[in-house]
């Protein structure tokens, strides 16, 4: 029985495809089956026999590996291992120690060929690795089991973390993110597969499918498949938005929009069409899917024509027809429609627009009726009427009266011009009338001579105007034959000639009758005649002036002016255009321009006087003077009048003195109030300041507004000694400070305002008025520096400072033209070495030597010289970038260039940068623009727009002096920045000032959260560097690493290593 069992076992071992064998303690083969023998033979081509060792049967590398497995089984007990043979088969071996008599006697080996399974697993693994989706799995403790390459690459790129099997979510993600996943894993285990959308830190949307892993009926973990669906979601949102916009257009359109089936059923109608047809929403909803055509079309023939044309043309525009509203009213509509087709060519729907043109049709019918009436009037008129085109002067219509006057037939006139027909007798007269028509678009009652067809000359009176007919510019001419009336007028004129000769005085008066005229007897001054204009101007009736003298009427407001006029007449018998003041009957005095001459009328010597009212001219003169010398808001003298009064005050003094003072004051916080509360509130404040200033000085002093929020006070007669004059000026300045510091009630709101005052004490030897004002301005500048309500006097050293400043400004102009500037370069480093360079400008002044930026940049900003200076820096920096690339220097280096606020806000800045890059050939990715935080406070949208354009071309941006301004994170995160720069002020105090350290830590954390790099400037000690490194800052700039150097020394020090 035992032998039979052994035989069965042996047969079973020989029949299996698995590899079975055993070795003794010397690792000699003591048993094996055919499968093991064949496998050994394939790898060594050696005959297998009992008692042979592995090195006798197999290649050395396989024999050594198997022997090590035998030793491990004897030492540690059963275990499994996988082995790949030389012919590529993958064998999974199970090793077990053989126990005989309680001792280990050898090792049994059971091998299974898993080549196919291994290849399938490898193929699956390769497939998983090749997908761009995220794939991973976790065990029940949320530890990472497997993951594909895409997940690994994502974590390495986004977080700098390489996933490793066994990691927990907290090892891979920030705490708030890591906390999301355990509940999701638990849900998958408890409820089965589900999907979940996850938003990554960089804003991408990932759709995740979570499935429980089941092994042997037990849930051992969760597998996760993630797919980036950001673009799909964006497309879905865009589609929804497009559908929303379409619906808004559809519902909000002023025209009717419709869709119908080919058989006439209404599919869609917008509110405008529903309202146009007189239906309400309920009617519209009920009509959907029904045939409402019989109720809408007034004329079925019009509908049939519409359907036939649409079928033929596929698109129909401007089809006019009549519709019937629900209430029975008929309206005219214009249809624009098209047919849409299926793939087989059959019509699917008809759709289009409907416009209500009822009013237009009504207007057209009225116009037609009006045109009929006009034509009847035109033809029946007794005056000749003609219409010609303006562009070529050809007649297009004439009436019968016109033809009768000129003696032509209609066909002889229409289509020809007046010149071709020879109408005009006097071409110069024609040209004058044509010019008048071009200038005024019409003229009336102009008389001229025309030539009839038979050559006869006829006098006509013309009235001509420009009209428009059907969009065509035309000329309407109305003509009346006045030949008979003119002949009668000539006869009457001849008969009256003798009468007019005898009435010399009226001829003279009438020749000058456009202006007020009166005639007085020279002997007694009595008025013997006056025209209507004189009576109306003076306010008298005719009988009130005839027989009375100008003295009796009180016409002369100033008797001295009358006496001067009499003397002039006695000397010259006439005068012209003398200004004088007259008094009206009402007592009103007004200016006149008077001309007079001695004449003789019927043997009596008389005086003819003509005057013109100058009231409007004088008012205009006063207005011009007011505009020229007074501020229109406060009614105070302006800067021009102030300087005139300074000049006048200096001219009054004879001996040298210092009895005058100029106070110049500037309102603090005015701009902020003006911007926050509006210009109306700002104007109220300026008026109130003007009132308070006026109340602080004497009537002989001058308060002026120089412009904006700047006022001036001119104090006179302060005494001949400077000290008392200065004391008085100081006293007045104190009053002003107190007055202006009181609260202001403006438009129901209380506000406060302070001022700064600069004082210059001067006399008649103190220079020009402009120089006096300049001295006060210099003192005011010092007062502003001191702070609110400060008062400062001008001193000679202020003038010296101003002169030095002016000299530097002049030198700066010269330096820009002569290119006296040079760039120095300071390294930026991290733990690996040089990572960037900052360019720093220096002025190589011919007399003062090398000047640092703080000695001239502020002045350049104030004078706008920063614009050409900044352009030079950009040009020089880009030229250096191109030179480094050409010499194959490190191409990864970014060269930083500081950009001023004024330069960045220039409208030409973006184009200027791109032009410099193109001109020099510099790579935009090597150029980094450093912006200051202060320039981000105004026009945020404009800043973002300019940065985005340059960013799209590859430029980088660094925010300099970060933390010193007032940036808002709400828009800071919108800026396309690459780097934040910790200001040197925080670095300097970082070791001893807790606040500076906290600010630096905040900036570093903020940069990480925003995905930006961070660099600290002004690092001078190793302690500062170490402290910053512990906070997480790994890039530095400062004297610890290198001073700014000229290009040759910089390249020798940093680029030749």
Which residue is it, tokens 């624009």? Answer: 336
Q: Find the helix or strand (DSSP H, E) in which 185 lies.
A: helix 181-191
Q: How far apart are CA 692 and CA 802, in angstroms?
A: 32
Average pLDDT, the chain: 84
- pLDDT attached to residue 180: 86
pLDDT of amino acid 235: 76
pTM surpassing 0.75? no
Provide the pLDDT for residue 62: 80
132: number of Cβ within 10 Å: 10
- For residue 511, the model assigns a pLDDT of 47
Range 663-678 average pLDDT: 86
Confidence grade of residue 118 (pLDDT, cut at 50, 70, 90): low
Using one digit for the tens of pLDDT, what is the confidence trace for 477-486?
Answer: 998 888 877 7
The pLDDT, as a whole number, for residue 566 is 84
Helices and strands per DSSP (H, E), number in the chain: 42, 42
What values do phi and psi take at 664, rounded to 5? -115, 125
Element (H, E) at 437: helix 427-440
Least Cα distance to 229 among 203, 201, 192 occurs for 203
pLDDT bracket for residue 220 (50, 70, 90): confident
- In 3D, which of 917, 1001, 992, 918 has the Cα closest to residue 963? 1001
Residue 174 scores a pLDDT above 50:
yes
**Which residues fall within 8 angstroms of residue 323, CB to CB, at 6 or more apart?**
277, 296, 297, 298, 330, 331, 332, 333, 354
Distance between CA atoms of residues 927 and 724, nearest Å:
62
Confidence band, pLDDT 50/70/90 cuts, at residue 13: low
Q: pLDDT tens digits for 330-366?
A: 999 998 988 888 777 777 788 888 999 988 888 777 7
Radius of gyration for the alpha carbons in the chain, expressed in angstroms and rounded? 53
Q: What is the pLDDT of residue 498?
A: 46
Q: Which tokens hold the place of 714?
A: 């001119």
CA 641, 643, 646, 652 torsion-angle sign: negative
Write out pLDDT tens, residues 187-206: 988 888 989 888 887 788 88
Predicted confidence (pLDDT) at residue 502 exceeds the cutoff of 50:
no
**Is residue 114 within 8 Å of 154, Cβ to Cβ?**
no
Per-residue confidence (pLDDT) for residue 417, from 0 to 100 = 93
Residue corresponding to tokens 């105004």: 938
* Cβ atoms 857, 798 nearer than 8 A: no
Whether residue 290 is predicted with pLDDT greater than 60 in this model: the reply is no
Q: With H, G, I as helix, E, B as strand and everything else as coil, classify residue 119.
A: helix
- Whether the predicted pLDDT of 504 surpasses 70: no
Domains, in order of start, for the chain: 2-117 (3.30.450.20), 131-234 (3.30.450.20), 280-362 (3.30.450.20), 381-486 (3.30.450.20), 503-618 (3.30.450.20), 654-794 (3.30.70.270), 807-1055 (3.20.20.450)
Residue 678: count of CB within 10 angstroms of its CB: 12
Cα torsion at 496, 500, 502, 503 (round to 10°)? 140
Distances (CA, A) of 260 to 175, 290, 332, 615: 59, 10, 20, 76
Give the position of tokens 């989706």. Answer: 133
The dihedral through the CA atoms of 895, 900, 902, 905 has a sign that is positive
Distance, in Å, from the CA atom of 761 to the CA atom of 662, rounded to the nearest integer, reads 6
Of the candidates 664, 688, 529, 531, the residue with the CA atom closest to the CA atom of residue 604: 529
What residues are paired with 839 via a beta bridge? 825
Report the range of poorest mean pLDDT among 43-52, 148-157, 632-641, 686-695: 43-52
| Cβ neighbour number for residue 1041 with a 10 Å cutoff | 16
Give the Cα separation of 38 and 742 in Å (integer).
112
**Containing H/E element for 1048?**
helix 1047-1050
Q: For residue 863, what pLDDT is reported?
A: 78
The two three-digit tokens of residue 365, written as one number: 């019918």
pLDDT tens-digit series, residues 837-874: 999 999 999 999 999 998 888 888 877 889 999 999 99
Rounded distance, CA 445 to CA 452, Å?
20
Q: What is the DSSP letter of 383?
A: S
Helix (H, G, I), strand (E, B), or coil: what is residue 793? strand
Kindly report, residue by residue over 723-748, the tens digit of the pLDDT: 677 888 888 999 999 999 999 998 88
Average pLDDT, stretch 638-652?
86
- What number is the average pLDDT over the span 77-87? 81
Lowest mean pLDDT among 209-223, 278-292, 409-423, 1012-1026: 278-292
DSSP string, 249-310: HHHH-SSEEEEE-TTSBEEEE-HHHHHHTT--HHHHHHHTTSB-HHHHBS-HHHHHHHHHHH
The DSSP letter of residue 893 is P
Total residues found in the chain within this entry: 1057
pLDDT of residue 453: 92
Closest C-alpha to 986, from 974, 1002, 967: 1002
- What is the pLDDT at residue 333? 92
CB 947: neighbour CB atoms within 10 A? 21
Q: Is the pLDDT of residue 7 over 70?
A: no
Tokens of 134: 């995220």
Res. 4: pLDDT tops 70: no
pLDDT in tens, 985-1026: 889 989 888 888 888 898 898 888 888 999 999 999 999 999
Residues 6+ apart with CB under 8 A from 1056: none
- pLDDT at res. 981: 92
Read off the tokens for 936.
Answer: 């981000």
Alpha-carbon distance of 894 to 913, in angstroms, equals 16
Compute the average pLDDT of residues 59-64.
Answer: 82
* CB count in 10 Å sphere of residue 553: 15
DSSP 385: E
Q: In terms of C-beta density within 10 A (0-12 exposed, 13-18 middle, 19 or more buried), how is residue 639 classed?
A: middle
499: pLDDT confidence band, cut at 50, 70 and 90?
A: very low
Query: Within a 13 Å sphere around the CA of 45, how many CA atoms are in the beta-carbon half?
Result: 1
186 vs 242: CA distance, rounded Å: 39
Q: Are 478 and 383 in contact (CB under 8 A)?
A: yes
Cα angle for residues 991, 980, 1003 (degrees, 5° grid): 45
| Pairing verdict, β 894-898 and 833-845 | parallel
């Amino acid at each position: 029985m035992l032998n039979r069992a052994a035989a069965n076992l042996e047969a079973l071992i020989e029949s299996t495809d698995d590899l079975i064998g055993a070795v003794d303690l010397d690792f000699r083969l003591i048993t094996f089956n055919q499968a093991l023998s064949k496998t050994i033979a394939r790898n060594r081509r050696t005959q297998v026999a009992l008692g042979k060792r592995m090195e006798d049967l197999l290649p050395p590398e396989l024999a050594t590996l198997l022997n090590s497995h035998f030793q491990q089984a004897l030492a540690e007990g059963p275990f499994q291992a996988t082995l790949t043979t030389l012919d590529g088969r993958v064998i999974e071996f199970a090793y077990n120690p053989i126990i005989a008599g309680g001792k280990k006697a050898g090792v049994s080996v059971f091998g299974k060929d898993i080549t196919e399974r291994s290849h399938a697993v490898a193929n699956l693994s390769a497939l998983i690795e090749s997908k761009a989706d995220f794939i991973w799995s976790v065990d029940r403790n949320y530890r990472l089991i497997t993951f594909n390459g895409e997940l690994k690459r994502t974590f390495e790129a986004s977080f700098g973390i390489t996933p490793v099997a066994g990691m927990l979510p907290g090892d891979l993600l920030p705490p708030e993110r890591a906390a999301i996943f355990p509940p999701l894993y638990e849900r998958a285990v408890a409820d089965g597969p589900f999907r979940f959308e996850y938003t990554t830190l960089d804003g991408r949307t990932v759709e995740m499918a979570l499935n429980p892993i089941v092994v042997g009926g037990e849930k051992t973990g969760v597998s996760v498949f993630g797919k980036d669906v950001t673009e799909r979601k964006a497309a879905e949102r865009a589609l929804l938005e497009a559908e929303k916009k379409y619906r808004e257009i559809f519902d909000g359109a002023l025209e009717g929009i419709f869709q119908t089936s080919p058989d006439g059923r209404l599919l869609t109608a917008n509110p405008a069409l529903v309202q146009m047809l007189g239906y309400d929403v309920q009617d519209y909803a009920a009509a959907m899917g029904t045939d409402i055509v019989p109720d809408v079309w007034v004329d079925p023939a019009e509908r049939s024509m519409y359907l036939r044309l649409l079928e033929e043309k596929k698109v129909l525009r401007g089809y006019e027809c009549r519709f019937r509203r629900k209430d029975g009213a008929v309206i005219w509509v214009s249809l624009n429609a098209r047919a849409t087709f299926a793939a087989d060519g059959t019509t699917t729907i008809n759709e289009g627009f409907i416009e209500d043109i009822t009013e237009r049709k009504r207007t057209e019918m009225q116009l037609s009726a009006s045109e009929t009436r006009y034509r009847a009037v035109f033809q029946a008129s007794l005056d000749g009427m003609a219409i010609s085109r303006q562009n070529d002067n050809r007649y297009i219509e004439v009436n019968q009266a016109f033809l009768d006057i000129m003696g032509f037939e209609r066909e002889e006139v229409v289509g020809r011009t007046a010149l071709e027909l020879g109408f005009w007798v006097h071409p110069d007269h024609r040209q004058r009338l044509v010019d008048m028509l071009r200038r005024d678009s019409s003229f009336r009652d102009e008389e001229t001579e025309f030539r009839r067809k038979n050559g006869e000359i006829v006098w006509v009176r013309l009235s001509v105007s420009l009209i428009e007919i059907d969009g065509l510019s035309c000329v309407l001419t109305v003509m009346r034959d006045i030949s008979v009336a003119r002949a009668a007028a000539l006869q009457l004129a001849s008969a009256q000639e003798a009468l007019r000769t005898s009435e010399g005085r009226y001829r003279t008066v009438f020749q000058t009758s456009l202006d007020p005229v009166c005639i007085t007897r020279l002997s007694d001054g009595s008025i013997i005649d006056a025209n209507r204009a004189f009576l109306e101007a003076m306010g008298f009736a005719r009988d009130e002036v005839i027989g009375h003298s100008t003295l009796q009427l009180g016409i002369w407001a100033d008797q001295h002016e009358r006496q001067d006029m009499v003397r002039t007449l006695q000397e010259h018998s006439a005068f012209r255009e003398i200004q004088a003041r007259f008094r009206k009957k009402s007592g009103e005095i007004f200016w006149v321009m008077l001309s007079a001459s001695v004449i003789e009328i019927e043997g009596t010597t008389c005086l003819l006087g003509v005057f013109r009212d100058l009231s409007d001219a004088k008012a205009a003169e006063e207005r011009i003077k007011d505009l020229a010398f007074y501020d229109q808001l406060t009614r105070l003298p302006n800067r021009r009048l102030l300087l005139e009064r300074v000049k006048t005050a200096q001219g009054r003094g004879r001996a040298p003195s210092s009895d005058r003072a100029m106070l110049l004051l500037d309102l603090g916080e005015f701009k902020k109030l003006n911007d926050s509360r509006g210009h109306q509130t700002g104007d109220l404040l300026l008026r109130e300041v003007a009132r308070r200033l006026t109340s602080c000085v004497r009537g002989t002093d001058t308060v002026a507004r120089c412009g904006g929020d700047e006022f001036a006070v001119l104090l006179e007669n302060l005494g001949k000694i400077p000290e008392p004059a200065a004391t008085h000026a100081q006293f007045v300045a104190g009053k002003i400070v107190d007055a202006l510091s009181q609260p202001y009630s403006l438009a129901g709101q209380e506000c406060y305002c302070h001022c700064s005052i600069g004082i210059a004490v001067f006399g008649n030897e103190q220079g020009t008025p402009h120089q006096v004002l300049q001295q006060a301005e210099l003192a005011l500048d010092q007062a502003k520096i001191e702070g609110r309500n400060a008062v400062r006097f001008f001193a000679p050293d202020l003038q010296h400072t101003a002169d030095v400043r002016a000299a530097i400004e002049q030198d700066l102009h010269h330096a820009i033209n002569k290119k006296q500037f040079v760039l120095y370069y300071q390294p930026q480093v991290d733990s690996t070495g040089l990572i960037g360079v900052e360019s720093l400008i220096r002025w190589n002044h011919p007399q003062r030597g090398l000047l640092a930026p703080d000695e001239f940049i502020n002045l350049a900003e104030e004078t706008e010289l920063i614009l050409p200076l900044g352009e030079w820096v950009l040009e020089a920096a880009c030229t250096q970038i191109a030179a480094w690339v050409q010499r194959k220097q490190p191409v990864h280096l970014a060269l930083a260039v500081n950009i001023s606020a004024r330069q960045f806000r220039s409208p030409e800045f973006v184009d200027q940068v791109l032009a410099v890059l193109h001109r020099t050939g510099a790579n935009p990715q090597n150029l980094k623009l450093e912006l200051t935080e202060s320039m981000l406070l105004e026009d945020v949208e404009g800043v973002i727009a300019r940065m985005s354009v340059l960013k799209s071309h590859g430029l980088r941006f660094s925010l300099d002096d970060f933390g010193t301004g007032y940036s808002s994170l709400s828009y800071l995160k919108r800026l396309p920045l690459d780097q934040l720069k910790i200001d040197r002020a925080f670095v300097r105090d970082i070791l001893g000032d807790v606040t500076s350290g906290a600010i630096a830590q905040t900036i570093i954390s903020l940069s990480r959260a925003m995905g930006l790099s961070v660099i600290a400037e002004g690092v001078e000690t190793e302690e500062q560097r170490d402290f910053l490194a512990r906070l997480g800052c790994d890039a530095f700039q400062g004297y610890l690493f290198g001073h700014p150097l000229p290009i040759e020394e910089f390249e020798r020090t940093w680029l030749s290593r």
